[in-house]
Amino acid sequence: MPIAPHIELDSAGPAAVDGRHIRALTFQSARLEYLRHVLSELSLAAVGSRALVVGSGRGLLARGLARFGFEVVAADPSPAATALALDADDGLGITYLTAPAEELGLPDGSFDLVYCADTLEITEQPDVVLAQAARVLRPGGVFVYDTVNRTPVSRLVYLGAFQAFPGTRIMPRGRYAAHRLRRPAELETALDRAGLSAKDVSAFRPRDVRSLVRATRGRRRGTLTDDQLPELVDMVLEPEGTPVVTYLGYAIHQA
């Protein structure tokens, strides 16, 4: 009987399947494409601007922002993730912090852009997270996020395939729960309470869901490496689409 893979977040161990890092790798291209759109839409120059990544994990997204030209701070609640981010750093001048999204401990109005990743779908305190993001943004600053909708399909994927079903499980049980998955309209209301004016929502998804299943199963079996997954999954933006599972969006900090 094959041995079940070892599910462990924020681990680079050879036997570990880190679903959080897998997710960051497969989301990276869509996240950066959406960020380019937002920067263009707002005529925000990266060079000379400061960005904060909340829920930065191993720092992949933070490094992408630094390569755009931002001065970047990367915050994550996991000391292990922070250590892995430091190990992977490319000398881009990023500041890495271990801090929860609910208590960032950073100065008011100190960032032009905040990107919230891997957070809104797992926090029990979305209002606190959004209030913290708004607090550290300058007036007129931009808040960018991605998260998971609450639909029958998203429950099947996130509550079933990713953390319960044998053969496709890559997350520890309990990381996701239905009440922590939030519909775009619910999130827009929460953004408004935090003083963040929602401007856009864009769906994104694998080009072919069968490729996501094959990639997940291959990673669990050890026949695929983490670095092979992004090309196989091939996330694509659907700006006019209805978010069935995952979506990105942005909001402006009201002055």
Taking residues 207-213, report their average pLDDT. Answer: 93
For the CA atoms of 136, 137, 143, 148, what is the dihedral angle to 10 degrees?
10
**pLDDT value for 169:** 95
Taking residues 188-214, report their average pLDDT. Answer: 96
Place of tokens 């998260």: 147
Question: Above pLDDT 90, what percent of the chain?
Answer: 95
Instruction: Name the token pair of 82.
Output: 């922070």
For the CA atoms of 81, 82, 83, 88, what is the dihedral angle to 10 degrees?
90
Tell me the C-alpha distance between 72 and 96, whole Å: 9
What region, left, alpha or beta, does residue 237 occupy, with left being phi > 0 and alpha being psi -120 to 50 degrees?
Answer: beta
Instruction: Name the token pair of 107.
Output: 């100065």
Q: Enter the pTM of the model.
A: 0.96
Q: Which residues contact 18 (CB under 8 A, 6 or more apart)?
A: 8, 9, 10, 11, 12, 226
Tell me the C-alpha distance between 151 and 86, whole Å: 36
Q: Which residues contact 176 (CB under 8 A, 6 or more apart)?
A: 121, 122, 148, 158, 159, 162, 163
Taking residues 196-215, report their average pLDDT. Answer: 95
Taking residues 232-237, report their average pLDDT. Answer: 96
**pLDDT value for 1:** 39
List beta partners, residue 239.
none
Domains of the chain as residue ranges with CATH: 16-150+181-206+234-253 (3.40.50.150)
Residue pLDDT, tens place only, 18-55 = 999 999 999 999 999 999 999 999 999 999 999 999 99
**What residue type is 185 in one-letter code?**
A
Instruction: Name the token pair of 155.
Output: 């429950």
